[in-house]
Structure 1
């Protein structure tokens, strides 16, 4: 029996699309470049971006 292919890492978009002064989305914490490249990234790249997004959110006081 063949193994099921894992689902791709989902986009962190929360439909709050507004850029701050550093061109970081205030909703998902991705940069413009990260947003535009998301569909071409593999899952490892996406996980790395999600880690950076989490760090940005923590630094901005958006998460505990």
Structure 2
């Protein structure tokens, strides 16, 4: 079973905002994340882009899946 996560493996805390540069979570949120109910995680994740924007931080763009060019017929 996978856990919903906004983590993009840029795990550093901004000392002015106390938010992670990569995902926008606080250290207490990161620490409690595995024990949170799915609904709580989803609620927090929904607010992260606005939280980061309000703090003047760059909001990371979601990763895009790479598509293989070998799968298309020539």
TM-score norm. by structure 2 comes to 0.64
* Within-5 A mapping of 1:1-64: 9-21=3-15, 22-59=17-54, 60=56, 62-63=58-59
Q: Shift in Å at residue 58 of structure 1?
A: 2.7
Give aligned pairs, total.
57
Mark the CA change 1:53 to 1:8 in structure 2 (over 3 Å): closer, same or farther.
same
1:4 matched to which residue of 2?
Answer: none
Distance 2:3 2:49 in 1: 15
Q: Deviations over 1:8-37 (max 9, x none)?
A: 552111110110123210000000011011
Runs (4+) of structure 1 exceeding 4 A deviation are none
CA contact (8 A) 1:15 1:27 kept: yes
The structure number with the bigger radius of gyration is 2
Name structure 2 gaps, 5 residues minimum.
60-74
TM-score norm. by structure 1 comes to 0.72
